[in-house]
Each structure stands twice: as C-alpha cells, then as structure tokens.
C-alpha cells in the first residue's frame, strides 16, 4: 500500500469498491460470494490472450470494482516479489499468447505434458499480474477454460490453495514444478 495508490480508500488498505465497504474482511467476504455467483453464470470464452483474460476479470468482478477488466496502473508486489511493471503487461501477455498459439493451445498433450506446460503458462501469467486485485481467481478460470480447450477436465476444487500460493512464489524464480504438480493432480483421470 502506498499513499498514492488510487485504488485504495484514503488512509486505508481497502480497495475502493462499488459496495462502499471499507472493512477488508467484509469486502473479502462479499467479493468471494459475488465472484462465485458470477462464475456460476459461466466464464467468457476467448483466444487466451490479454483481451480474454480481461473479459474473464470483468465478468467476475464487474459488480465490485469500477476497474474490473482494466489493466492496473500501479506497480504492485507481494511477499517481496515484484510483479511485471505496468508498462510491460501487454508485452508479457503477448508473449504468453504467442507461446500458447505456437504450442497449439496445449492440445493433443497427455495429462502430464499438459500439466507441465500449463504450469509454466499460469506461472508467467501470475508474474504479469495485470489487475490490481483478483488475478488468482481470474487465472484459475482461465486455466479451467484452457484445460477444457485442450481436452482435459480440471477440477478447481482439488487445487490446494497453500500449495498453489507456494507454487506461484516459486514460479517467480522460474520453478514451475509445484504449479504443474498441482494442475496434474487436479485433472480428472
């Protein structure tokens, strides 16, 4: 949190929101409930590029944030790890999309090969971190759609949040093994 973060209420670590909630726990609860309702309506399809990622984020968070689906305008870090600088978000996601397109969107890969490749893709999208908030949930639904597009069924409920967070931190250092292993175990056999 910085004093000049336009996403936050003044002298607060709470994100400005359409609900007018200024308590972090209340916002977190409302956000999770609303996102679950939006997810149940279905997730927008697309080309697995930045536009698609933005459409997913907009769909999930449109009732909460005026900036839903918009690329962040502030630099952010978490746990000592700096995410992609704002000016490189579009380039970072273009690279991810190029790699996906070159790999035929991971189609025709067996379960383990898909999990390995998808772990790298999601790890890199996490590094890009295009949104001020909601990146993780957006990535999960993107991953679920990518798996389905590639012929695999991913069961999000089987992903362990603690392992996933550790994997996301490791991916910052180009170690995608935890993310890939978690994806592999969440794929329906």
Domain boundaries, given as residue ranges, for the chain: 24-186
Residue 118: enclosing H or E segment and its boundaries? Answer: helix 111-128
User: pLDDT of 29-76, one tens digit each?
Assistant: 999 999 999 999 999 999 999 999 999 999 999 999 999 999 999 999
**pTM, full prediction:** 0.96
State percent of the chain over pLDDT 70: 98
pLDDT score at 1 = 47
pLDDT score at 3 = 61
Please identify, in words, the CATH class of the domain defined by 24-186.
mainly alpha
End-to-end Cα, the chain, rounded Å: 43
Give the mean pLDDT of 119-126: 98
């Amino acid at each position: 949190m910085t004093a000049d973060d336009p996403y936050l209420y003044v002298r607060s670590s709470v994100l400005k929101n359409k609900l007018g909630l200024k308590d972090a726990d209340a916002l977190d609860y409302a956000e999770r409930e609303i996102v679950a309702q939006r997810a149940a309506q279905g997730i927008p399809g697309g080309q697995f590029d930045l536009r698609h990622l933005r459409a997913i984020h907009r769909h999930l968070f449109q009732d909460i944030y005026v900036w839903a689906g918009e690329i962040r305008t502030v630099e952010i870090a978490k746990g000592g790890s700096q995410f992609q600088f704002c000016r490189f978000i579009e380039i970072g996601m273009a690279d991810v999309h190029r790699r996906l397109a070159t790999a035929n969107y991971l189609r025709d890969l067996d379960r383990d090969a898909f999990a390995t490749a998808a772990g790298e893709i999601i790890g890199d999208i996490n590094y890009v971190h295009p949104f001020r908030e909601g990146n993780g949930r957006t990535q999960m639904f993107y991953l679920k759609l990518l798996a389905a597009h590639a012929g695999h069924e991913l069961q999000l409920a089987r992903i362990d949040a603690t392992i996933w967070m550790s994997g996301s931190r490791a991916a910052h250092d180009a170690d995608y093994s935890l993310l890939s292993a978690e994806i592999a175990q969440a794929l329906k056999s």
